[in-house]
Structure 1
Amino acid sequence: MIDLDVGGPRYPGDRSLADLVAGGVRRPDLEPRPGVAVLRNGGVLPSEAGEAVTALLGHHPTVVLRLPPRPAPGAIPVPVVPVHLLLPGGWFPSMTGRAVYQATPAWVRMPGEGIRLPIPRTSTIGALLEGRRPPGGDRWIGAWRKAWRVPWTR
């Protein structure tokens, strides 16, 4: 996951997207490894990170880009999968088109067409954050398979 949000969380890790922009993408950055990789933003605008992001996209089989909530960062040259939390009270702006909706303990109807992910188990979250594969047959991981099959627009 590459965080394109300048105001995003300070995910752990030795390097950030800002480091890759400033110092260049290294060979080890381009070699996929098992598990989940999270690259925090580090204070770089999406418009400044295009070259680094393009290099990473070209060498990793699956990349998730975490976008800033608003405004949209401009044209994105890859398919975008909108992911929204299902929270009561209209916390997020209304949207059009398909999306992936992450269920929460508060039951909320999906506001539009899309895929509803089940609430992930604690062991699933722990495994992903530690770079391990979740237990076999995990419902949350299985639900994402549907999302990857949808022809998302660019």
Structure 2
Amino acid sequence: MAIFSTAAELVPLLEQARQRGERLVLANGAFDLLHVGHVRYLQAAAELGDILVVAVNSDDSVRRLKGPDRPVVTQVERMEIIAALGCVDHVLGFAEDDVGQVITILRPDIHAKGTDYTASSVPEAELVRKLGGRVAIVGDAKNHSASELIARVAASRRKTPA
């Protein structure tokens, strides 16, 4: 397992894996406040192929996508946490708001998305297919979210006397 700053750094390693006939699965997300839904998503993604690469949004990207108070955990720490999961082979960071550039560089055999998506709502689906891959929707039902956890903690703090 290794952490990479960019997708390009990972290309030579993945080319060797492809020569051995191994299939690459790409998963991505903010993974801010890792929860069981994230873990189940990544475990299910790993089962689809031989190598699971997880792309983690930059702090600026998370702010643009989730709001000015996010992320709670820095990208460096989020990447380290994801890398510690046994189902994950490699982790990389990316700065864009979507994972299209990473897909173009890595050309995954399978792009795994969580159940908050459908096959028709994955923004990168057409790109993945054009590059010869497929999209898979994996994980448990979207019953968990970091935003929900943050709201619960905030509500709990308001109820607790100082």
TM norm structure 2: 0.30
Task: Give the structure with the larger helix fraction.
Answer: 2
If asked which structure has higher relative contact order (CA below 8 Å, sep 6+), I would say: 2
| TM-score, normalising length: structure 1 | 0.31
Q: In proportion to residue count, which structure has more strand?
A: 2
